[in-house]
């Protein structure tokens, strides 16, 4: 799952990215309101952690623009503002949770997991195309009933492809979505990890098609 961290302080953003990545989430970071709005244009995000004190625009304004624009992903406000008025306004504008700084990471992680938990028992945390199945909560990958042992990066890459069956994903898009923010890797890394992934998927690997000169596609049933 992909989490957007909207935080202008590098130290806090780095701390959040490290902790969330270690917990199995892909992290996209935005340091300004403009970057936060741009990051949500193409979808593909599952939750946002939003600071209010941004350098170019108040976080509450970003939240309001997301909600009026129809963006429904869960939003957790994480801010130094702990006044009742700010909390009420944030919740009224559509925030799902509000956690003041300083905070305990374990508490934030528990709130993230609670907001990502499927509602009404819906299968929102299971991705499946053909024989390939990915359970995002248990972090378990299977082909038919056979478990596949994937690294964190292989898991993130497969998740990205399964989320967009039939759609060509460029190498740049796969790097952006499957690798942590700020990690220096080349486009060749995508090809290498697709190779590793195909080896582990066995006969089901034919679902991953190479689109020459562009990237890869998960062939839809």
Q: What is the pLDDT of residue 123?
A: 41
Nearest 5 degrees, angle CA 32-CA 88-CA 117?
Answer: 75
Tell me: do 111 and 176 sit in the same domain.
no
Tell me: do 199 and 171 sit in the same domain.
yes
pTM above 0.85, yes or no: no
The pLDDT tens digits for 80-128 are: 887 788 888 888 999 999 988 888 888 888 889 888 875 554 445 688 8
- Note whether 40 and 84 are within 8 A (CB): no
Distances (CA, A) of 24 to 36, 149, 201: 22, 14, 20
Answer with the one of 84, 117, 150 that is the final residue of a domain.
Answer: 117
Strands 26-30 and 47-50: unpaired
- Note whether 129 and 218 are within 8 A (CB): yes
pLDDT < 70 positions in the chain: 118-125, 180-184
- The pair of structure tokens assigned to 100 is 């003041």
- Note whether 37 and 62 are within 8 A (CB): yes
Q: What is the pLDDT of residue 110?
A: 85
Tell me: do 111 and 7 sit in the same domain.
yes
Tell me: do 7 and 66 sit in the same domain.
yes
- The pair of structure tokens assigned to 149 is 């042992």
Tell me: do 80 and 106 sit in the same domain.
yes
- The pair of structure tokens assigned to 210 is 């190479």
Tell me: do 77 and 130 sit in the same domain.
no
Q: What is the pLDDT of residue 122?
A: 46
């Amino acid at each position: 799952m992909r989490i957007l961290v909207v935080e202008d302080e590098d130290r806090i953003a780095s701390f959040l990215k490290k902790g969330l990545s270690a917990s199995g989430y892909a992290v996209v970071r935005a340091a300004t309101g403009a970057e936060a709005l741009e990051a949500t244009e193409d979808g593909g995000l599952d939750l946002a952690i939003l600071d209010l004190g941004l350098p170019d625009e108040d976080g509450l304004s970003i939240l309001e623009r997301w909600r009026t624009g129809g963006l429904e992903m869960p939003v957790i406000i994480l801010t130094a503002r702990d006044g009742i008025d700010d909390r009420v306004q944030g919740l009224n504008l559509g925030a799902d949770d509000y956690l003041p700084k300083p905070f305990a990471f374990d508490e934030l992680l528990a709130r993230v997991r609670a907001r990502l938990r499927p509602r009404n028992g819906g299968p929102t945390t299971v991705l499946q195309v053909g024989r390939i199945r990915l359970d995002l909560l248990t972090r378990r990958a299977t082909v038919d009933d056979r478990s596949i042992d994937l690294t964190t990066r292989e898991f993130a890459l497969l998740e990205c492809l399964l989320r967009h069956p039939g759609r060509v994903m460029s190498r740049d898009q796969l790097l952006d979505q499957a690798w942590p923010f700020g990690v220096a890797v080349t486009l060749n890394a995508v090809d290498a990890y697709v190779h590793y992934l195909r080896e582990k998927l066995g006969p089901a690997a034919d679902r991953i098609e190479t689109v020459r000169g562009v990237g890869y596609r998960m062939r839809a049933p």
